[in-house]
Structure 1
Amino acid sequence: MLRIISGKYRNRKIQEPDLKITRPTTDKVREAIFSSLQFKIIGKKCLDLFAGSGALSIEAISRGAKATTAIEKNKEVYKIMFNNINSIKIEEINTLNTDALNFLKLNSKVFDFIFIDAPYHEYSLVNECLSLINVNDTLHSEGEIILETNSIKEIVIPSGLKVYKSKRYGRIDVLYIIKDE
């Protein structure tokens, strides 16, 4: 079981998918991410790519985000995420059982915060997501991408974006990326 760390859904427990299928963001890393975002997330629109259990989306809404779109490709994992969100009765999260790249190719919405927590070692997938976000102008001009990875050196930041902060938590790196204007 995972727990929501702070906000109006604090300490609510949610199911996590089979660890062979996903690798949920740990409480420590989730707490660090949202502590660094502080009040910037209040009233903002978020996109959660590779949403897994939905913990990042639920945490964002719990801390005051206006709305979140949660993308999960795996049908089994999607059902768990959908049930987690429904069990708490959160209406501000739109869930989609689709591929992240297809979503980014077809999407016309702009988001203030984009969470990317792709399966580790899927660097080309992450890099393609970053490229599509950049080319399609998916990130708001004042927005941020929060990217979890196990290898910074494999991540290619496209021209037009820049890493303004990175933090390491054990073997996990969290990159905070903004537009480079």
Structure 2
Amino acid sequence: MRIIGGTLKGIRLNPPKKLPVRPTTDIAKEALFNILENQLEISDLKILDLFSGTGNISLEFASRGAQEIISVDRDFGCYGYLKATSKELNLHQIKAFKSDVFKFLNTETQQFDLIFADPPYDLTNIPEIAKIVFDKKLLKPGGVLIIEHQSMHNLSNHPNFTDKRKYGYSAFSFFTN
């Protein structure tokens, strides 16, 4: 796993092997950031990274100059790794929270420009993420929600769904406000 763009491009990340994660592959991450950089000014974004795991996506956003990133994961090891890595790399715009994502979403009141969710692929309530985000108005006008999931799953029945991009076994579903 490595940071593929921005000021920290090329830095290799070596999280502990025991963490319960499935990081976004470098190929899928590169494709995602190519899409985002053609549509958004990353340095202007306030981002919420759900199921952040090792912080792979949060660190990539920070490297590319995002102004504020809130990262949420319930695993203490993931939370600790991201907190330590952010400090080591002087990425003060990352704020890590140890919390269940659904509890966090149901109590959150801030709005974000971009919300990225990378839940465990076997999670049965993945469609609830979009429902909660839009019901609670957690996206700013023009904001984007991206949910990473197995490519065979279909999240297109949500009214704010706009696009799906497949990368092997993984896919990104896009929703806009």
TM superposition score normalised by structure 2 = 0.91
Aligned to 1:96: 97
Instruction: Return 14-23 or 139-148, whichever deviates more.
Output: 14-23
> Structure 1 stretches of 5 or more lacking a match?
none
User: d(CA) in 1 for partners of 2:19 and 2:46?
Assistant: 30
User: d(CA) in 1 for partners of 2:141 and 2:50?
Assistant: 19
Aligned to 2:130: 130
Aligned to 1:158: 158
Q: Is the alpha carbon distance of 1:20 and 1:81 closer, same or farther for their aligned partners in structure 2, counting shifts above 3 Å?
A: closer
User: d(CA) in 2 for partners of 1:123 and 1:63?
Assistant: 32
Give percent identity, aligned residues only: 27
Query: What displacement does 1:47 show?
Result: 0.4
- Counting only pairs closer than 5 Å after superposition, residues 9-158 of structure 1 correspond to structure 2 as 9-18=8-17, 21-38=20-37, 40=40, 41-124=42-125, 126-153=126-153, 155=155, 157-158=157-158
Letter of the 1:23 partner, please give it.
Answer: R
Query: What displacement does 1:157 show?
Result: 4.5
8 A Cα contact 1:123 1:154, kept in partner: no
> Structure 2 stretches of 5 or more lacking a match?
none
Instruction: Return 35-44 or 48-57, whichever deviates more.
Output: 35-44
User: d(CA) in 2 for partners of 1:19 and 1:176?
Assistant: 31
User: d(CA) in 1 for partners of 2:27 and 2:59?
Assistant: 16
Aligned to 1:174: 172
CA RMSD of aligned residues (A): 1.7
Query: What displacement does 1:149 show?
Result: 0.5
8 A Cα contact 2:46 2:114, kept in partner: yes
8 A Cα contact 2:70 2:97, kept in partner: yes
Count of residues paired in the alignment: 175
Letter of the 1:129 partner, please give it.
Answer: I
Query: What displacement does 1:42 show?
Result: 2.2
DSSP 3-state at the match of 2:153: helix
Letter of the 2:24 partner, please give it.
Answer: T
CA shift digits 1:69-91 (9 cap, x unpaired): 00010111211121221121110
CA shift digits 1:44-83 (9 cap, x unpaired): 1000000011110111111121110000101112111212
User: d(CA) in 1 for partners of 2:157 and 2:73?
Assistant: 23
TM superposition score normalised by structure 1 = 0.89
Query: What displacement does 1:154 show?
Result: 5.0
